[in-house]
Structure 1
Amino acid sequence: MEPSELLAKARARAANPSDPLETLAAASILSQELSRDADALLDLAVHHARAAGTSWTAIGDRLGVSKQAARKRFAKPFTHPFATRRTRREAACSFCRTPPGPRVHMVHGEAGRICADCVALAGEIVADLKAKAKH
């Protein structure tokens, strides 16, 4: 997708498309979503490559990193199935239940946690409510 198409998409999401700061905020949220989707795509491609028998060395070479860096980034560490289940559930986002992870940013409060995606969604909801209240 071209940057101009992405900017148009961000403007369409903005509460007030003529306000550059509203467009910037919408573009920031869109950028986070695209980054998360790109990470998921890369994770899936590496998983398929490993399932097909591709070595960590070959994967690292293709990605321009060492095999150790590729393995550290994409290999799932082994933990006992019951060892972290409760801890991860308690540390998950209080709204969408997304578990914590290296690419999941959380805001911690007294009564719970909220992930960056839920913060962004809440911002969009509040902006929509403000826009509706003005009319």
Structure 2
Amino acid sequence: MSQQVRDAAKREPRKTERWASRIAEDTLALAGDMVEAEHERAPLAVQLRLARELAADVQNFIAAAVHDARTVGHSWKAVGEAAGVSTDTARGRWAEGKVLQQLQRRDRRRAPAPHAVSPTSGEPGVPQVRATRREQLASALATLHRRSDVTVQRAAELAHCSPSYVSRVIVGERVPSWPFVHMLVTILGGNPAEIRLLWEGARGLAPSGRLAVGDAAEQLLAALRGLHLAAGEPDLGDEEARAVLRGDVVPEWPVVSAVVVALGGQPADVRPVWEDLHYAALASAFDDALPPYGAFQCATVGEAGEVPEASGGGGNGL
């Protein structure tokens, strides 16, 4: 940032948040999305959509910057000189009413879809309807925020962004890049691995490729715990479900599926992760089955170590 910009910022009052500041943060996030899309070789349609959104937000930023400048007392002559146009052109192009309509249309387009019904039943923390993937991510982040001692203001300071941006991420209005989500989850005292599958779902990304059996087990456990966060950390009231969430055992797929449904998730989202563990188990030194004490602990039990008591229900289920 140049000294001239710093001096100008010091001279301008900051009674309210600048509209341009919010759009600038969104533009930065969109640019990060474009970089990720390119690195991941996303389809051309996705890359072009992001480019169109970014181009539109650049124009929105210009309009918002002019609006903010006018709010703090800049004359149309000063605006015209800054934009390289005449005073009359500046006044006609960025008239207050026109700019406000433009920015309000933008906000309506970007607003998250409202909940048709309450996401919880009469019993606190128990999902009643299935949330969208974006809503699940937002709910998990909100749960982390509620149980932490970190305020939105402090989280924003540590993440080097504005409090409004952190708030919009937590309520699901924005789905930022993974590095930002990883940082925010860490700031809130959570485990980023438990949020990863929720983030991938919110961004429409495919699950990661084949993993070693220990890593695959950790990935499945993290996915289930992420759903548990998104559901508000309910007590499912079933010992087998608790054992699954503790990582004591991986039962048959119908049980895993039932846990996912009880947590308000979509079994189809978790099935590929469970299948990765199944594949890793078959490809491992365990030949064609995991030991009955479950995959979550297979990487930590030594040759002479004691193994946990097997889960009921018959077999390892893989």
**TM-score bracket for the superposition, by shorter chain length:** 0.3 to 0.5
**Higher fraction of strand:** 1
Larger radius of gyration: 2
TM-score by length of 2: 0.20
